[in-house]
Amino acid sequence: MEGTVTLLTTYLGGALAADVPSDTGNTAWVLTSAALVLLMTPGLALFYGGMVRAKNVLAMMMMSFGAMALISVLWVLYGYSVAFGDDVGAGLLGAPGEFLGLEGLMKDTTSEAGGLPALAFVGFQAVFAIITVALISGAIADRAKFGAWMVFAGVWATVVYFPIAHWVFDFTVTDKASGKVTHTGGWIANNLAAIDFAGGTAVHINAGAAGLALALVLGRRKGWPATPMKPHNLPLVLLGAGLLWFGWFGFNAGSALAANNTAAVAFVNTLVATGAAALGWLLTEKLRDGHATSLGAASGVVAGLVAITPSCSSVSPLGAIAVGTLAGVFCALAVGLKYRFGYDDSLDVVGVHLVGGLWGTLAVGLFATAAAPAGVDGLFYGGGVDQLWRQAVGAFAVLVVSFVATLVIGLAIEKTMGFRVDGDDESVGVDLTQHAETAYDLAPVSGGAFRGSLPGTGTPTVSGTGKGRTDQEVSA
Amino acid sequence: MKLVVAIVKPHKLDEVKAALEAFGIQGLTVSESSGYGRQRGHTEVYRGAEYTVDLVPKIRIEVLADDTDAEDVVDVIVKSAHTGRIGDGKVWTVPVDDVVRVRTGEHGADAL
């Protein structure tokens, strides 16, 4: 924990300490990790996109790409300030205007050996905000208006994610020489001292609780659960899960914010917990349903990644196997809850991210060992319940705040602009009705022609004049 | 003339086609189709939720034959498509008034 805090905060003390060149190894790793984490969102788009029916795959993926587009801009404008600005009260919020537009952060302010350029940290944290928003979209597959989703994404990031990132990721900085506090961070990281290395609370519990709230606001899809809505392309789901796993090394090992031992421990724990979770999920399926499925393998991978996210710096590799295996089992069982309680969390954001995030966050309190970089013993390693209750309070606080805030935002959008497409549009599919596109054109004959003029030319095409295509056009 | 229509298991298409060629049939039309008979469909499981898939994939083969050949064509298809397991399919014939070869304009048996 100590080491992590120091590393997390080296970039912040810069303004007060003498300027020293940034550590090239650390900077290279954090920038690389940021790019890895960005790739997780297209990976998530594939993971989600393969799970919906063919008529809704583009709309599903567009919710992820929309988040990439919008949140990257909001993060630069004010998101980083809200999350990592100096605390404005009780550890709940950073000063929203502190780094407006990132002005003033372009100077090299790295303070000491091992320091990161401020914008390396800004970029790394930006991609966390993007994927957290994108994760929610799985709960409202097949029935959301794209415009409403984009409004939701912006408001939710502003009101829910940016502040909660401040709670969890913004560490207080104390100047070593003077003992003076130079930067005040969020309450979960500092006052509560819960361990959430890479975002079990801020990312997964947060997105999972929001997904549950939105699934309730939008209601069930037409025909759910009686009508089969089976995945249209499982290879896409597997490819997406693979990209998520790959990118997650940046998410977890990159959260060390240095190319060091903590990163290496997080890396190996991220590898092994994920493998164990896939085994746990497959075994559960085999025993319960009779078959080990490819969707189960992909889902188990994600469940393991979610659970090891908060715990990858505090457990041993053997502990990671336990955390992962149980994550696979718990999540495989939890995806059935929606049928019991009747909420249409279409792609199991609750079953995988909320349950996996809760488990991983609590697992720190159980499986943490002082031998790991975080240096804390959990219940099973003789540390008692001290860390466990801190984990539980952090997890519960994020769950409740995210759920309630999302419910309010979701209902406000539903009552004003409408969140859900109308019934006919839903039946036809949201690809065509929201985006005027279809994902797959496999028919040898589609009978199409341009309508009106081609963009940028102003020239009417032949079909625009009411004739068919000429031979020239066909051969062109 | 007769139109012989056969619904067979997809993996039997190559055998049926080879057998028809050996019999001397010059051409046929194949389309992917789906449906069910007495075997009904099958069950698929996604994240623990069981889906009954009623319409299973089948291959629909259409062959035009002379009245004298039609029964043999049916036999050839039935023999080559047979596995003995439920879901092997159906073959039936319907009368055809006329057939025209588009390229030459030939009618009737000449067009086969």
Q: B49: which chain A residues are within 8 Å (Cβ-Cβ)?
A: 225, 336, 339
Residue B24, Cβ density class (10 Å: 0-12 exposed, 13-18 middle, ≥19 buried): exposed
Contact flag B47-A339 (C-beta cutoff 8 Å): no
- pLDDT for A22 equals 67
pLDDT of residue A459: 61
Alpha carbon of B10: minimum distance to chain A alpha carbons (Å): 19
Cβ atoms of residues A37 and A247 within 8 Å:
yes
How many domains does chain A contain in total? 1
Interchain contact, A332 vs B53, CB within 8 Å: no
Structural domain contains residue A445: no
Q: For residue B61, give how far its alpha carbon lies from the nearest alpha carbon of chain A (Å).
A: 19
In a domain, A358, yes or no: yes
pLDDT (0 to 100) of residue A282: 98
User: Residue A231: its chain B contacts at CB < 8 A?
Assistant: 46
Classify residue A99: in a domain, yes or no: yes
Alpha-carbon gap, residue A171 to A37, rounded angstroms: 21
B48 to A332: CB separation less than 8 angstroms, yes or no: yes
Q: What pLDDT does residue A466 have?
A: 43
- The per-residue pLDDT for B38 is 83
Which range marks the domain in which residue A69 is found?
2-428
State the pLDDT at residue A222.
95
The pTM assigned to this predicted structure is 0.87
- Beta bridge partner(s), residue B33: B58
At A114 the pLDDT is: 55
Q: Is A290 exposed, middle or buried (0-12, 13-18, 19+ CB in 10 A)?
A: exposed
Of A372, A373, A382, A359, which is closest to residue A303 (Cα–Cα)? A359
Which residue does chain A place closest to B47, by CA atoms? A296
3-state secondary structure of B56: strand
In this complex, do B48 and A285 lie within 8 Å of one another by their Cβ atoms? yes
- Asked, for residue A130, whether it belongs to a domain, the answer is yes
pLDDT of residue A296: 97
Quick one: pLDDT at residue A446?
Answer: 66
pLDDT given for residue A7 in this prediction: 39
Could you tell me which chain B residue has the CA closest to the CA of A348? B47
Confidence of residue B32 (pLDDT cuts 50, 70, 90): very high
Which CATH number fits the domain that encloses residue A288? 1.10.3430.10
Report yes or no on A471 lying in a domain: no
Min CA distance, B62 vs chain A (Å)? Answer: 20
Q: Which residue has the higher pLDDT, B68 or A107?
A: B68
pLDDT the model gives residue A141 = 97
Is the residue at A473 inside a domain? no
Q: Which of A53, A229, A230, A237 to mutate to test the interface with B (most CBs of B within 10 A)?
A: A230
The pLDDT value recorded for residue A458 is 67
For each of chain A's 476 residues, which pLDDT tens digit applies? 333 443 344 344 333 333 445 688 999 999 999 999 999 999 999 999 999 999 999 999 999 999 999 999 999 999 999 999 999 988 999 999 899 999 888 877 665 445 788 899 999 999 999 999 999 999 999 999 999 999 999 999 999 999 999 999 999 988 888 889 988 999 999 999 999 999 999 999 999 999 999 999 999 999 998 888 999 999 999 999 999 999 999 999 999 999 999 999 999 999 999 999 999 999 999 999 999 999 999 999 999 999 999 999 999 999 999 999 999 999 999 999 999 999 999 999 999 999 999 999 999 999 999 999 999 999 999 999 999 999 999 999 999 999 999 999 999 999 999 999 999 999 999 999 999 999 998 776 667 677 777 777 766 554 444 444 444 444 44
Q: Which long-range contacts (CB under 8 A, 24 or more apart) does A460-468 make?
A: none
pLDDT recorded at residue A444 = 67
Provide residues of B within 8 Å CB-CB of chain A.
44-53
Would you state the pLDDT for residue A116?
A: 87
Chain B: residue nearest A347 by CA?
A: B47
Contacts of A332 in chain B (CB under 8 A): 47-48
Asked whether residue A372 is domain-assigned, the answer is yes
Cβ neighbours of B45 in A, within 8 Å: 285, 289-291, 293
Q: Quick check: is A104 in a domain?
A: yes
Residue A288: list chain B partners with CB under 8 A: 48
Give the model's pLDDT for residue A109.
63
pLDDT above 90 for B52: no
Q: What is the pLDDT of residue A93?
A: 93
**Contacts of A470 by beta carbon, 8 Å cutoff, 6+ apart:** A462
pLDDT at A226 (0 to 100): 87
Q: Which residues of B touch A299 (CB under 8 A)?
A: 47
Q: Do B46 and A293 touch (CB under 8 A)?
A: yes
Q: Could you tell me the domains of chain B? A: 2-111 (3.30.70.120)
What 3 state SS string does chain A have?
CHHHHHHHHCCHHHHCCCCCCCCHHHHHHHHHHHHHHHHHHHHHHHHHHHHCCHHHHHHHHHHHHHHHHHHHHHHHHHHHHHHHCCECCCCCCECCCCCHHHCCCCCCCCCCCCCCCHHHHHHHHHHHHHHHHHHHHHHHCCCECHHHHHHHHHHHHHHHHHHHHHHHHCCCEECCCCCCEEECCCCHHHHHCCCCCCCHHHHHHHHHHHHHHHHHHHCCCCCCCCCCCCCCCHHHHHHHHHHHHHHHHHHHHHHHCCCCHHHHHHHHHHHHHHHHHHHHHHHHHHHHHCCCCHHHHHHHHHHHHHHHHHHCCCCCHHHHHHHHHHHHHHHHHHCCHHHHHCCCCCCCHHHHHHHHHHHHHHHHHHHCCCCCCCCCCCHHHCCCCHHHHHHHHHHHHHHHHHHHHHHHHHHHHHHHCCCECCHHHHHHCHHHHHHCCCCCCCCCCCCCCCCCECCCCCCECCHHHCCCCCHHHHHC
